[in-house]
Amino acid sequence: MNTLYPLKFKPILKERIWGGNLMQTRLKKQFNGLQSVGESWECSGVDGNFSVVENGFLAGNHLQELIEVYMGDLVGERIFRHYGIHFPLLIKFIDARENLSVQVHPDDKLAAERHGSLGKTEMWYIIDAAPGAVIYTGFNRELDRKTFLEFLKNGKLTEILNREEAMAGDVFDIPAGRVHATGAGILLAEIQQTSDITYRIYDWDRVDAQGKSRELHTHLALDAIDFKKPASFKHHPEGPHNVPVILSANNYFHVSRLTLTSPYERDFHRLDSFLIYMCLDGQVTFLFQGGKENLSSGQTVLVPASLETVTLVPSPSATLLEIYHP
């Protein structure tokens, strides 16, 4: 069997009513005739949207096929024992030219009962934000179901949503159950559980080109919503160059930022997990036993668990997100 290597996938671009063109102008994605691209799925194990390898001898194979063949060598032994052939994370870039819908995602228990699926806990890292751009996350007061429905029925939902100004480098943790929406003018990286279950609550009264509103899922959402006011809504981690700066850590993913100005050797032989690197700015070369792979702004790579050491060499600098399953 040929040796595994860092895998790059063909981006899965998604047209969205709220999408823009930053995927093309900022992240260098090829639209190929698409308009208003809101999402680029960089690494996906979602049914019907499996990521396909674009580099090396495994080009043309999709992610689930690779897990079937390489098992723990690809994802890590403990991860393969727990998830089998199902990849546990979904990695995206999101370009919100307009507001996204106000929505909520179910937790593992509710998602399993209703959909036979994982829940959806996620985090956002703000890559860029227009002046005055905001993230809607959680409520600005303690609520119960009855009060929430009264505000919703009276067209006053936005009065109870917490608004946070968004700036590059901000981190928003969005646990399952937290009502949220990305505001207009934001480019972000999203790391989440492998789930495409969204309960849409409010869509800003917008309609599509045919004058139709998108479906709402209020009754499904009610059992998923956490009505408590969170203790915190966002943070803005700072840290030195050339070492990982932790951004988010939970039972599903661990995310750090690496700002590299010199070569950095990553030894993860005890991690027993794949790693994913999203390049946000600059260029970097991955040196590994048997070869090298280049990564530039807007690109993502999956480093198999069997590669225990990798050296990252920036050219001359690079900013990356490093993601693994704890």
- The residues carrying an active-site annotation are 200
- Among residues 195, 187, 33, the alpha carbon closest in space to that of 110 is found at 195
- The number of C-alpha atoms within 13 Å of 55 and in the hemisphere containing its C-beta is 17
List phi, psi (to 5°) of 158: -65, -20
Q: Indicate if the alpha-carbon torsion angle 279, 268, 323, 235 is positive or negative.
A: negative
DSSP state of 62: B
The radius of gyration of the chain from alpha carbons, rounded to an integer in Å, stands at 20
> In what side-by-side order are the strands of the sheet with 180-182?
161-165, 134-139, 180-182, 102-104, 199-202
Q: Which residues contact 6 (CB under 8 A, 6 or more apart)?
A: 286, 288, 293, 301, 302, 303, 304, 307, 310
DSSP state of 295: E
Whether residue 230 contacts residue 132, with contact meaning beta carbons closer than 8 Å, is answered with: no
The angle subtended at Cα 35 by Cα 210 and Cα 189, nearest 5°, is 115
Strand ranges inside 9-54, DSSP E: 12-20, 37-43, 45-46, 49-50
Distance CA 30, CA 11 (A): 9
